[in-house]
Structure 1
Amino acid sequence: MDEITHVMNDIETLGTGNDALILSIGAVKFNALGVFDNFHMAIDVDDAQCHGMTITASTVLWWMGEDKADARRALLSLDRRPLHTVLAEYQRWYGAKSQPTWGNGATFDNVIMRSAFRAIGEDAPWQFWHDRCYRTMKDLPGAPKMKRTGVHHSALDDARSQADHLLEIWHQLGIGEAANG
């Protein structure tokens, strides 16, 4: 049986609404055997605002917290590119075939990414029926606790940690390949 590819998205934003300004996108491709590819790019804030993406003051203040210093350093080390460029590179990396695409929350990562694609006049590369919610899986009774790796709130490190955790959940709950649809 062919291993179905899944994608885990994680974004860092300057807001929490559907049109929140995305600072960076981290994503990994994985299957039942593990993570095997990744994507990580930062977006130019001024360019994203020109496309209608919004900033929320409380989120800016959240990023300024002392406990976010490592995440800010990691984010600021990335080259920032125009929104259109980052999303075009993501589409190229994602590929032409829609696949199960996970985000951390039914109304966060994937929804905000869809809004960003709409802002540049494009469609997200996955079909709506492939949206998956990692947060729902991690809250299942009996799900193991996440073992975070890397910098918390670095989009790529969070995407990788979430994919690894999801695989652990599948293994522990004995559902592995059953989650491939």
Structure 2
Amino acid sequence: MMKTHVMIDLETMGNGNHAAIVSIGAVVFNPSNGELGADFEEVVSLNSSAYYGDIDASTVAWWVNQSEEARSIFLKDTPKSTLKDALNELNQWLADLGEPKELCLWGNGKDFDNVILANAFKACRIRPNFVHWNDLDVRTIVRMGRDILGINPKETLVREGVHHSALDDAKFQAQYVSVIWERFTQVQLSCAQAGLVEGVNS
């Protein structure tokens, strides 16, 4: 069964598993060629997310030192949703992409984006349209690219968009994950052609 790959990025007011979410970004991508598809972005009211999640002082201080563009999500005039509304919107967007078992959700770190998002759904008593066994970790594939392939596109690719914009970060993560994925595919093909492996998985 073909999977739909979705890159998730959260901006939060903490770094724990129950951090308060202030924005959600997501983009569909094809890791075989880096092509980006449909995307999603929602800014969340801090008053709402703080009711369900944790805020820590070090993250608040960190946000103070970020760019005006990144901090624009906190401005009074920036449209914001409650956490429940944002999660329901994301859930519908994911449902439009496919059944939970068809979606692979990528996030940064085995205990950050995907775990925080799942905990937010649980806190709001909303059943998410994804399953934890399809979680994939950006940091793991970056380490594999660096240590096995000798490449680090996270550092070498030209970055576009605003740093710490959830959607822009998600798009960039999708791009450098795809570079590593493509390189592994090329290695596999080379091994198959050399008779070192029996075949290539589709």
- TM-score, structure 1 as length reference: 0.88
Deviations 1:40-99 (A, max 9, x none): 00111111222x21110110000001x433311366474111111000000011115121
Quickly say closer, same or farther: Cα 1:127–1:116, change in 2 above 3 A: same
**Out of 89, 103, 109, which is 1:105 matched to?**
109
**Out of 149, 162, 174, which is 2:173 matched to?**
162
- Indicate the structure (1 or 2) with the bigger Cα radius of gyration: 2
Please give the secondary structure, in 2, of the residue aligned with 1:139: helix
Count of matched residue positions in the alignment of Structure 1 and Structure 2 = 176
RMSD (CA atoms): 2.2
Give the drift of 1:179.
9.3
Give the drift of 1:3.
5.2
Q: Which residue of 1 aligns with 2:60?
A: 60
The one-letter code sitting in structure 2 at the alignment partner of 1:129 is W
- TM-score, structure 2 as length reference: 0.80
**Out of 136, 145, 167, which is 2:153 matched to?**
145
The separation in 2 between residues aligned to 1:173 and 1:118, in whole angstroms, is 36
Q: Which residue of 1 aligns with 2:45?
A: 44
The one-letter code sitting in structure 2 at the alignment partner of 1:154 is S
Please give the secondary structure, in 2, of the residue aligned with 1:80: coil
Quickly say closer, same or farther: Cα 1:75–1:135, change in 2 above 3 A: farther
The separation in 2 between residues aligned to 1:154 and 1:38, in whole angstroms, is 13
Give the drift of 1:172.
1.7
Is the 1:8–1:28 contact (alpha carbons within 8 Å) kept by the matching residues of 2?
Answer: yes
The separation in 1 between residues aligned to 2:68 and 2:181, in whole angstroms, is 33
The separation in 2 between residues aligned to 1:88 and 1:61, in whole angstroms, is 30
Quickly say closer, same or farther: Cα 1:7–1:93, change in 2 above 3 A: same
Unaligned runs of 5+ in 2: 189-199
Please give the secondary structure, in 2, of the residue aligned with 1:15: coil
Q: Which residue of 2 aligns with 1:92?
A: 92
Please give the secondary structure, in 1, of the residue aligned with 2:127: coil
Is the 1:27–1:40 contact (alpha carbons within 8 Å) kept by the matching residues of 2?
Answer: yes
The one-letter code sitting in structure 1 at the alignment partner of 2:169 is D
The separation in 2 between residues aligned to 1:131 and 1:121, in whole angstroms, is 20
The one-letter code sitting in structure 2 at the alignment partner of 1:163 is A
**Out of 103, 122, 126, which is 1:118 matched to?**
122
The separation in 1 between residues aligned to 2:151 and 2:136, in whole angstroms, is 17
Is the 1:29–1:35 contact (alpha carbons within 8 Å) kept by the matching residues of 2?
Answer: yes
More helix by share: 2
